[in-house]
Structure 1
Amino acid sequence: MTGLPPSIEQWFSSRDWALHPHQRAMLDAADHPATLLIAPTGGGKTMAGFLPTLADLTTAPHPGLHTLYISPLKALAADIKRNLRTPVEEIGLDIRIEDRTGDTPASRKKRQRADPPHILLTTPESLALLISYEDAPRMFAGLKRVIVDEIHALAESKRGDQLMLALSRLQTLCPDLRRVGLSATVQDPKAIAALLARHPDPCEILIADPGPVPDIAMLQTREPPPWAGGGAAYAIPAVLDRIRTHKTTLIFHNTRAQAEIFFHNLWLANSEGLPIGIHHGSLDRQQRQRVEAAMVRGELRAIVCTGSLDLGIDWGDVDLVIQIGAPKNVKRLVQRIGRANHRYNAPSKALLVPANRFEVVECVAALEAATAGDLDGEPRGQGPQDVLCQHILIAACAAPFRADDLFAEVTTAGAYADLTRAEFDRCLDFTATGGYALRAYDRWQRLRQGPDGRWHLRDPRSAQRIRMNIGTIQDTDTLKVRLKRNRVGKPLGEVEEAFAATLTPGDTFLIGGQIVRYDGLRDMTVEVTRDAGRTPRIATFSGTKFATSTQLSARILELFAQPHWPQLPEHTRDWLALQKRMSRLPERDRLLIESFPHDGREHVCVYGFAGRNAQQTLGLLLTKRMEDLGLHPLGFVATDYATLIWGLDPVLDASALLDARSLRDGLKGWLDGNAVMKRTFRASATIAGLIERNTPSARKSGRQATFSSDILYDTLQKYDPDHLMLDITRTEALRGLVDFHRIEEMLQRVGPRLDLLRLPRITPLAAPLLLEVGKVPVKGTAEERLLAEETRRLMELSGLQEVNRVASPA
């Protein structure tokens, strides 16, 4: 295909539009098995992806489903439907476009399977559900193209792995299927292309002109940022000034709790009553939709938001993006910057607002990386086996299958190309029987092999239960929040179960920008009333707690090494100069360890720059080593760049503390009995189908699911320690929650170059950690020693020692 039909050409001409070169290139590449388009935000990449579809449907009418569009967000699918209908309706094309997500009514979903539209817009989870039905071959029989939008966002998660397994099934049903991937932010195009294409088919990579250089800078404020903290309250007046001078401003935060705090402070300072909204994933869906509609209509001057607005939705006339707090990841920063001036020929405009002095350095490093186009990203490795187990169950729901055929199909998905037959068979055995320790239980006997060698569901009725639990997104344990009324009150959103458990009647907290008072819990719903107070508690929304990427950490260390730091503001230069006078600055190929007394305790600070998860793990492992070495640790706290430990004795030998083999041995012992492993096991076991969160009768609460998974975990640890689910759990814990590979990479990088400095007092770089939330106490011999010392002190004060001496026999 090399051109557009006249009707579509005329529509472009009527708007004085011309095809961009990359849009013309997508038409030329329409017959390639797979094509990855990397084009800047506002460059018409979504239209480029759909142009071959519109041209094909215009020249050759097609009954049934022609193109499947997949996006990470339900809202993005709805936005694309709205934007795509405009040319279809104005050109007068006879093309049906519909979306299918979790919000689609059941009646429409049923009709779509029987009579699919020409273009269906959906999500990875909905696609996985569609291929589980017996009529999937009929529904997808005429499918020609699949468009995966924002493919970079899916490539980094298990949602992407599940999607590519689903595409391997679609390719079997439709051998001539063409795959298209769209993204604006790709660090390694070849890696994304390998993920998108059917292995070992080639993938065409098209890279568009990046357009104007973004206008990015640090927000200038009258007051300097504090040494510590994450709220950026000091910048509120300067942020309001920028809101006043722009049409619509998106104010991004890294966590939902931070967004709530900032919105509350911004609203209190908003004396002019500028229309400002808040948008994040814990808010009630209707409230989010109201904010989205107001944005499209241009009624809001600013929206405080989180990753819920990261991706390529065209929200009204946004002309400024403000990032509060360090972005942690250059790719995320570039994605967010692209929300401003969503046009190909206009530079995006963005401002960064560091929350504290250290984040000033991180923001400068991120700005330099974004300007240089140096995006970050880490290889994900082989596809996770819990997702594969779920895919095997999905395949069985659709129809009986032969193991040889399914193995051949699965290994066409890039992430599973290196999967061995033994690994596949082990997953198959698990889905069929539950594994050695569980095969005696009827509930886990799900598949059986028939006389013809094909595998099928042991009980066809189990298909419903399997479909109810499809997906890889793990729900946090949340409770609905509603305003208290005589009947059903207005929904406000959700808070975590753990947070709700700490509330007593009268407590206040923030949600959706409102201060509410906790009244009680009824029918697993948190009932609240509005409160006029000005000092609320803050709901601990889970959200995503980003870790600084390794590439950005390396840039920060490079920046430290520069003389005099001319690109930093004066207050931060003074802060770093003071650190250099009192101690040293961390270096890339050396590990700085500071030891100093403070507030009656001995402290040690390890500057690993390995990311929050890894530094947290390092704290757990080092305190265990200190306990073994008799150094009596009392607790620790971690950030993205350092771990601070306090105890009773100073650290005098760093090499004994940071021995790689001892840390790995300690990790294994710690993991096996730790809550991190149980939490990871629960997530993986739910994905793999061992644990059901949803059943036909009810949905399990978080506590019920945790209780069930804890019993299973303990049973397998005792009776089947080599069980597949335990192996998966160890792999996932090391790769995700623990990030131990970052610790190993750090130790390999620095080698024996450990710089342990014994200092008289706390240093500027370590001081912010004292104010960091999330301190972890260590229960061990230090408590016993403190208790013994306090007992001796009391005895001395009371004179009991002398009495005991006189009263004792000679």
Structure 2
Amino acid sequence: MALPSPFADWFAARDWTVHPHQTAMLTRADAPSLLLIAPTGGGKTLAGFLPSLVEISKNPASGLHTIYISPLKALTADIRRNLGRPIEDMALPIRVEDRTGDTSQARRRRQRADPPHILLTTPESLALLLSYEDAPRIFAGLRRVIVDEIHALAESKRGDLLTLSLARLQRLCPGLRRVGLSATVEDPPALAEFLGPTSAPCEILTADPGPPPDIAMLDTGAPPPWAGGGGRHAIPAVLDQIARHRTTLIFHNTRAQAELFFRDLWLANEDALPIAIHHGSLSREAREKVETTMTEGRLRAVVCTGSLDLGIDWGDVDLVIQVGAPKNVKRLVQRIGRANHRYSAPSKALLVPANRFEVVECVAALDAVRAGDLDGEPRGPGARDVLCQHILATAAAGPFDAEALFAEVRSAGPYADLTRPRFDACLDFAATGGYALRAYDRWQRLKQGPDGRWALRDPRTAQRIRMNLGTIVEEETLKVRLRPARGGAPLGEVEEAFAATLTPGDTFLIGGQVVRYETLREMVVEVSRSPGRDPKIAVFAGTKFATSTRLADRILEVFRAADWSGLPAHTADWLALQREVSALPERDRLLVETFPYEGRHHLCVYGFAGRNAQQTLGLLLTQRMEAAGLAPLGFVASDYATLIWGLEPVNAPSDLMDSNELYTAFSGWLARNAVMKRTFRTSAVIAGLIERNLPGQRKTGRQATFSSDILYDTLMRYDPDHVLLEITREEAMKGLVDFGRIEAMLARVHGRIDHRRLDRVSPLAAPLFLEAGRVPVKGAAEQRLIDEAAARLMAAAGLS
């Protein structure tokens, strides 16, 4: 397919050159599956749409031709604006609409009756469309599906949901062509397999990467603090950079950190530069206001989180600042690409380490970006709780044949190796709830007819299934509004657990402003503005990222380097002192230090396995120490180490680190730990066992948790082999506890443990004493301290 003259003229009128990868997308327009990897600002989204725009302009028949899928609702709105320009300029007879959770019911009904040529949507909205009985008619003319930022979807259950929807679309539209777009791909063949379908190999098209980014660490004039993650020490230097640039994005890893940094930045902003804050816990109105103001070029800086990670082209951003270590090279590359969003201009970014150790991590991340060394953990098989949901959604669309559905599911990349027994277990769960629950009518949802096909027992169930589709299980949050509640502006939401700690008069931060808690009415937190300067901080539901395996390896490479000239002098001196006093950690060996401090014996294990895994390691080691009579008192973990303190010295750390013993301890701990119940709740909501949304009502987070706890205890007692408990165990092994990284670390060191017995705290361990999040151990040591204190008291009183 060549570029028709109206399109060529449109490019020429703007002095734009058609990039080779855009031309290649046209010439390969008929490829069944194509993955385009092009740098941010390289016009990859336009490249994905060009074949559709050309095809529809030549044959503007009514009906749905192309579906565009993105991870973010805001990204669909941005794409609609950008697509509108060429369509309007060339007067193309093409109708483009979006369909997300923000789309009105009336508009959704109209779209089903009269679909646009191009529909911009999300994985959840696509799954919902496919659950209607008229899906074959809606998608009858569909020719192409474009998945933008596909790498972001492939890393979560939203990606599993998407691939199952694509498999369904492929059955409805056998000639469907799939296009994946991404700027950051560490393993192109793996992502191509994810895009699928399994029946046709996916072609990979790689564009010229463009100029390398202009990246460095921000010189703040003084060393960062030894601990903490806020980066407030850098605010004067950050304000100076904002003043020197047109628009600056200031990324943070958590919403709470973004709120605190924005408040301090605002208080220090003596020149009254227009700045704003943007994150996922703010109200839609607040986010849209920031987006509009930024698009119009009226903001000098936006403090933000992952809500602005992906390819939204807003304003004239010419600088990105990452506050805090990025934890993940791929995420850093994505964020860097927001600056100078043009193919020919290098992106400019500055990193701000929030504490002394993060200096090393930032240097390692900068080296990785310059080398084009992206990280990424290998994806496991498709999640089965998502498959359970997909089976229910398929039934909502009409009767189905199990054999045909099994083949369809196996055509989706993540489910290519799914066995029939595992599929049948999910089908049985969707139909009856499983052995222990089949006696309850509420979970008797499917029945098999005389023709062998499966269908809903009660057609009215379809509405409830649709209301609960999706894999994003929201944290228990409450809306926050300014008083009066009905007329007051919505500010965002806070976690239910945080709201429960508030009493009238308490203040907290949200959206960059201090508000005072007044009351809780009808599940809405009512607040008023407060002039206070020292608020509480809302515990937002943002993710705390763990340092990736690849980045951790690069940090260890920095330690091993003979030349530390790339490090600031204060950090190089710190590492040199560590090497002199003890040793520096190595990738294939495990450094363990023991030392006394303030009357306690300490054990420090440098696993470099990420915060979640190091936290789990602390739980397991203290459990083993308790059994061995070593009287642990508590521990604290960071991304690189676990520090444990207790009443007895650990003379043989290797005895505690046996992988088989740790796995046994882990399995026992997991079975009785709250992590299992929390994981079960999430999987139960996704699989459809627990309904968060019901016609005319919505369960609170606490109600859903109460329901899931009862179900979990019931299944553990009466049906321990239930498929949902199997799924829960699989999910709990990763994510919150990340035991897989502990196993990988132990396999890598293979018993090579370097035990350093020290007479004082080591330089590398010292910052761990300042880490937040200390976990006390309630065991024999606690009772021993109580007994010793009682004995001293009685002796002081002259009693024996």
TM-score of the pair, normalised by structure 1: 0.98
Residues 487 and 120 of structure 1, relative CA distance in 2, 3 Å threshold: closer
Q: Secondary structure at the match of 2:733?
A: helix
State yes or no: 1:585 paired with 2:584: yes
State yes or no: 1:322 paired with 2:312: no
Separation of aligned partners in 2, 1:141 and 1:487: 44
Amino acid at match of 1:18: T
Could you list the per-position Cα deviations for residues 144-199 of structure 1 after superposition, in whole angstroms to 9, with x for gaps in the alignment?
Answer: 00000000000000000100000000000000000000000000000011111210
Amino acid at match of 2:495: E
State yes or no: 1:670 paired with 2:669: yes
Separation of aligned partners in 2, 1:620 and 1:486: 44
2:355 alignment partner in structure 1: 356
After TM superposition, give the deviation of residue 506 of structure 1 in Å: 2.1
State yes or no: 1:169 paired with 2:182: no
Separation of aligned partners in 1, 2:16 and 2:339: 21
Q: Which stretch shows the higher mean deviation, 766-775 or 362-371?
A: 766-775
Separation of aligned partners in 2, 1:756 and 1:506: 52
Separation of aligned partners in 2, 1:276 and 1:198: 45
Separation of aligned partners in 1, 2:794 and 2:765: 37
Could you list the per-position Cα deviations for residues 633-667 of structure 1 after superposition, in whole angstroms to 9, with x for gaps in the alignment?
Answer: 11111111111111111111111111111110011
1:481 alignment partner in structure 2: 480
Amino acid at match of 1:299: R
Contact 1:5 1:59 in 2 (8 A): no
State yes or no: 1:405 paired with 2:404: yes
1:779 alignment partner in structure 2: 778
1:545 alignment partner in structure 2: 544
After TM superposition, give the deviation of residue 461 of structure 1 in Å: 0.2
Separation of aligned partners in 2, 1:634 and 1:59: 74
Contact 1:233 1:265 in 2 (8 A): yes
Could you list the per-position Cα deviations for residues 442-467 of structure 1 after superposition, in whole angstroms to 9, with x for gaps in the alignment?
Answer: 11101010000000001100000000
Q: Which stretch shows the higher mean deviation, 765-774 or 292-301?
A: 765-774
Contact 2:485 2:526 in 1 (8 A): no
Residues 129 and 569 of structure 1, relative CA distance in 2, 3 Å threshold: same
Gaps of 5+ in 2: none
RMSD: 0.9
Could you list the per-position Cα deviations for residues 700-734 of structure 1 after superposition, in whole angstroms to 9, with x for gaps in the alignment?
Answer: 11110000000000000000000000000000000
Structure 1 segments, 4+ long, off by >6 Å, are: none
State how many pairs are aligned.
800
2:733 alignment partner in structure 1: 734
Separation of aligned partners in 1, 2:90 and 2:111: 24
1:804 alignment partner in structure 2: none
1:632 alignment partner in structure 2: 631
Contact 1:38 1:208 in 2 (8 A): yes
After TM superposition, give the deviation of residue 532 of structure 1 in Å: 1.6
Amino acid at match of 1:5: P
After TM superposition, give the deviation of residue 628 of structure 1 in Å: 0.5
User: Any residues of structure 2 matched to 1:374-453 within 5 Å, and which?
Assistant: 374-453=373-452
Q: Secondary structure at the match of 1:258?
A: helix
Separation of aligned partners in 2, 1:226 and 1:787: 36
1:750 alignment partner in structure 2: 749
2:681 alignment partner in structure 1: 682
Separation of aligned partners in 2, 1:76 and 1:261: 26
Q: Secondary structure at the match of 1:584?
A: coil
Amino acid at match of 2:475: T
1:41 alignment partner in structure 2: 40
Separation of aligned partners in 2, 1:599 and 1:465: 59
Q: Secondary structure at the match of 2:694?
A: coil
Could you list the per-position Cα deviations for residues 302-324 of structure 1 after superposition, in whole angstroms to 9, with x for gaps in the alignment?
Answer: 00000000000001100000000
User: Any residues of structure 2 matched to 1:460-539 within 5 Å, and which?
Assistant: 460-485=459-484, 487-539=486-538
User: Any residues of structure 2 matched to 1:196-207 within 5 Å, and which?
Assistant: 196-207=195-206
Separation of aligned partners in 2, 1:151 and 1:234: 36
Contact 1:5 1:58 in 2 (8 A): no
Q: Secondary structure at the match of 1:323?
A: strand
State yes or no: 1:271 paired with 2:270: yes
Contact 1:33 1:197 in 2 (8 A): no
State yes or no: 1:69 paired with 2:64: no
Q: Secondary structure at the match of 1:127?
A: helix
Contact 2:248 2:301 in 1 (8 A): yes
1:767 alignment partner in structure 2: 766
2:98 alignment partner in structure 1: 99
Amino acid at match of 2:229: G
Q: Which stretch shows the higher mean deviation, 514-523 or 377-386?
A: 514-523
Contact 1:217 1:350 in 2 (8 A): yes
Could you list the per-position Cα deviations for residues 360-405 of structure 1 after superposition, in whole angstroms to 9, with x for gaps in the alignment?
Answer: 0000000000000000011111101000000000100001000000
After TM superposition, give the deviation of residue 487 of structure 1 in Å: 4.6
Could you list the per-position Cα deviations for residues 19-51 of structure 1 after superposition, in whole angstroms to 9, with x for gaps in the alignment?
Answer: 100000000110010000000011100000000
Amino acid at match of 1:687: I
1:659 alignment partner in structure 2: 658
Separation of aligned partners in 2, 1:16 and 1:307: 33
2:219 alignment partner in structure 1: 220
1:712 alignment partner in structure 2: 711
After TM superposition, give the deviation of residue 61 of structure 1 in Å: 2.1
User: Any residues of structure 2 matched to 1:152-301 within 5 Å, and which?
Assistant: 152-301=151-300
Q: Secondary structure at the match of 2:644?
A: strand
Identity percentage over the alignment? 73
Separation of aligned partners in 2, 1:262 and 1:19: 42
Could you list the per-position Cα deviations for residues 119-145 of structure 1 after superposition, in whole angstroms to 9, with x for gaps in the alignment?
Answer: 000000000000000000000000000
Separation of aligned partners in 2, 1:603 and 1:263: 37
Amino acid at match of 1:134: E
Q: Which stretch shows the higher mean deviation, 279-288 or 564-573?
A: 564-573
Separation of aligned partners in 2, 1:210 and 1:436: 54
Contact 1:564 1:573 in 2 (8 A): no
After TM superposition, give the deviation of residue 798 of structure 1 in Å: 1.2
2:457 alignment partner in structure 1: 458
Contact 1:593 1:606 in 2 (8 A): yes
Separation of aligned partners in 1, 2:300 and 2:203: 41
After TM superposition, give the deviation of residue 771 of structure 1 in Å: 1.8
Separation of aligned partners in 1, 2:296 and 2:389: 42
Could you list the per-position Cα deviations for residues 761-806 of structure 1 after superposition, in whole angstroms to 9, with x for gaps in the alignment?
Answer: 22222122222222111111111111111121112111111xxxxx
Amino acid at match of 2:308: L
After TM superposition, give the deviation of residue 603 of structure 1 in Å: 1.6
2:601 alignment partner in structure 1: 602
Separation of aligned partners in 2, 1:62 and 1:781: 77
Separation of aligned partners in 2, 1:578 and 1:35: 52
Separation of aligned partners in 2, 1:474 and 1:565: 45
2:301 alignment partner in structure 1: 302
Separation of aligned partners in 2, 1:627 and 1:756: 20
Residues 593 and 172 of structure 1, relative CA distance in 2, 3 Å threshold: same
Amino acid at match of 2:207: A
Q: Secondary structure at the match of 1:202?
A: coil
Q: Secondary structure at the match of 1:182?
A: strand
Separation of aligned partners in 1, 2:635 and 2:292: 45
Separation of aligned partners in 1, 2:593 and 2:259: 35
Contact 2:495 2:540 in 1 (8 A): yes
After TM superposition, give the deviation of residue 200 of structure 1 in Å: 2.7
Separation of aligned partners in 1, 2:607 and 2:597: 21
Q: Secondary structure at the match of 1:277?
A: strand
After TM superposition, give the deviation of residue 230 of structure 1 in Å: 0.6
Q: Which stretch shows the higher mean deviation, 492-501 or 181-190?
A: 492-501
1:24 alignment partner in structure 2: 23
1:90 alignment partner in structure 2: 89
TM-score of the pair, normalised by structure 2: 0.99
After TM superposition, give the deviation of residue 564 of structure 1 in Å: 4.5
Contact 1:281 1:308 in 2 (8 A): yes
Could you list the per-position Cα deviations for residues 668-694 of structure 1 after superposition, in whole angstroms to 9, with x for gaps in the alignment?
Answer: 111111100000000001000001111
Amino acid at match of 1:742: R
Separation of aligned partners in 1, 2:578 and 2:42: 45
